[in-house]
């Protein structure tokens, strides 16, 4: 039994986790060689690949009660993670700027670059699928789209307010979110689902499908470029503490909510796995733009991303075993 369990664990690592870090490494290496334009890559992700991904997945999946629950749970994760970050920052007696960056590093996780890629790979390979047939993939990706929507909105509202910047308020954050195409892509997908018209028969559908299929590779290589431009200092203890609570505390909170709200099946597994992703790169960008603790934010992103190779493998295994 132990040997069989190890085989499952090793299979998850090689089939679902290592491909993520191979693509991240390729982006890292390309940036070191060619000094790529991170702003251009980010815009490709946010304005083309993520909106197309969101539209196609919402349009093709059945809207269920579980998806409504996912929205509620994704929202509840925010104050719970914030409370954990707030208490830990006080216990560690962190300066105000560092404390705010610490809170953000727990609240905002990489539900885009890594989350979407992870869910895609996990629900395409064993133990959830066999590659040739992935019956749960669409439902799992719909869960991830809901999480991504909540995380994107909150990062650009609560994240701005909590990053220590001057002149940043709720209105500024909301306006910023409303300028992004993802909310409109999701709204349009829901609208087209209920219209007596098959949008998938239009010439736009193949283009959107190509963009949707290209997201994983572009998003992960972009993450590698972002990490290549970051400064790494492995000597400070605080970023490791933040990474530990993001990578272990996040899934623990998700598991508690799953049990309380009696979420089951694919939705429960995908939500739990999503909560195990590392700190979002946007937390570092928020610190840069809002005058926060940039050094801490960069360390938290980098260290949590590196350590997530093991913790995400464990999260996928636990989802398979207990959910």
Report long-range pairs for 90-99 (Cβ below 8 Å, ≥24 apart).
92/238, 92/241, 94/238, 95/293, 96/164, 97/164, 97/291, 97/292, 97/293, 98/238, 98/293, 98/296
Residues 143-194 have pLDDT tens digits of 998 898 888 878 877 887 787 655 556 676 667 667 778 888 888 998 998 8
Residue 102 to residue 108: CA distance in whole angstroms: 10
Residue 84 to residue 107: CA distance in whole angstroms: 9
Q: Which residue has the higher pLDDT, 77 or 173?
A: 77
The pLDDT value recorded for residue 33 is 94
Q: Where are the alpha helices (DSSP H) in 108-181?
A: 113-122, 137-155, 158-161, 170-178
Residue 36 to residue 226: CA distance in whole angstroms: 10
Q: What mean pLDDT value characterizes the chain?
A: 85
Query: Cβ–Cβ contacts within 10 Å for residue 171, how many?
Result: 9
The pLDDT value recorded for residue 1 is 41
Half-sphere exposure of residue 204, counting CA atoms within 13 Å on the CB side?
7
Global pTM value: 0.84
The pLDDT value recorded for residue 83 is 95
Residue 281 to residue 298: CA distance in whole angstroms: 8
Q: How confident is residue 4, by pLDDT bands cut at 50, 70 and 90?
A: very low
For residues 303-317, give the mean pLDDT.
90
CA 220 to chain centre: 11
Q: Which residue has the higher pLDDT, 215 or 33?
A: 33
Lowest mean pLDDT, pick from 99-108, 109-118, 166-175, 273-282: 166-175
The pLDDT value recorded for residue 288 is 66
Q: How confident is residue 139, by pLDDT bands cut at 50, 70 and 90?
A: confident
Residue 231 to residue 229: CA distance in whole angstroms: 7
Strand partners, 109: 279
For the chain, the domains span 2-322
The pLDDT value recorded for residue 3 is 44
The pLDDT value recorded for residue 283 is 81
For residues 53-64, give the mean pLDDT.
83
Lowest mean pLDDT, pick from 33-47, 211-225, 282-296: 282-296
Residue 5 to residue 204: CA distance in whole angstroms: 45
Q: Which residue has the higher pLDDT, 76 or 68?
A: 76
Lowest mean pLDDT, pick from 127-131, 167-171, 286-290: 167-171
Instruction: Give the right CATH number for 2-322 from 1.20.1530, 2.70.98, 2.60.40, 2.30.30.
Output: 1.20.1530
Q: What percent of the chain has pLDDT over 70?
A: 90
For residues 192-212, give the mean pLDDT.
91
Report CA dihedral (30, 35, 40, 43) to the nearest 10 degrees: 60
Residue 60 to residue 295: CA distance in whole angstroms: 42
């Amino acid at each position: 039994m132990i040997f069989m369990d190890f085989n499952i664990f090793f299979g998850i690592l090689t089939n679902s986790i290592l491909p993520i870090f191979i693509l991240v490494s390729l982006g890292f290496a390309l940036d070191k060689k060619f000094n790529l334009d991170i702003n251009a890559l980010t815009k490709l992700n946010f304005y083309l690949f993520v909106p197309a991904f969101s539209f196609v997945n919402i349009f093709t999946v059945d809207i269920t009660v579980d998806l409504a629950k996912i929205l509620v749970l994704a929202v509840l994760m925010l104050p719970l993670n914030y409370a954990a970050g707030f208490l830990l920052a006080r216990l560690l007696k962190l300066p105000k700027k560092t404390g705010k960056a610490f809170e953000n590093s727990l609240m905002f996780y990489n539900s885009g670059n890594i989350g979407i890629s992870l869910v895609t790979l996990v629900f395409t390979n064993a133990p959830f699928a066999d590659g040739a047939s992935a019956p749960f993939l669409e439902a799992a990706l719909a869960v991830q789209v809901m999480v991504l929507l909540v995380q994107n909105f909150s990062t650009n509202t609560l994240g701005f307010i909590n990053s220590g910047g001057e002149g940043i308020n709720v209105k500024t954050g909301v306006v910023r979110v409303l300028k992004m195409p993802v909310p409109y892509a999701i709204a349009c997908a829901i609208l087209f689902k209920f219209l007596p018209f098959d949008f998938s028969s239009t010439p736009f559908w193949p283009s959107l499908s190509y963009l949707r299929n290209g997201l994983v590779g572009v998003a992960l290589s972009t993450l590698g470029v972002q990490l290549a431009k970051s400064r790494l200092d492995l000597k400070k203890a605080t970023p490791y503490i933040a990474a530990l609570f993001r990578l272990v505390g996040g899934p623990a909170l998700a598991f508690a909510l799953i049990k309380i709200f009696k979420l089951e099946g694919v939705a429960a597994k995908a939500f739990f796995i999503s909560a195990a992703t590392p700190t979002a790169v946007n937390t570092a960008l928020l610190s840069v733009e809002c005058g926060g603790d940039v050094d801490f934010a960069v360390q938290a992103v980098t260290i949590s991303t590196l350590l997530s190779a093991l913790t995400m493998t464990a999260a996928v295994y636990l989802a398979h075993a207990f959910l």
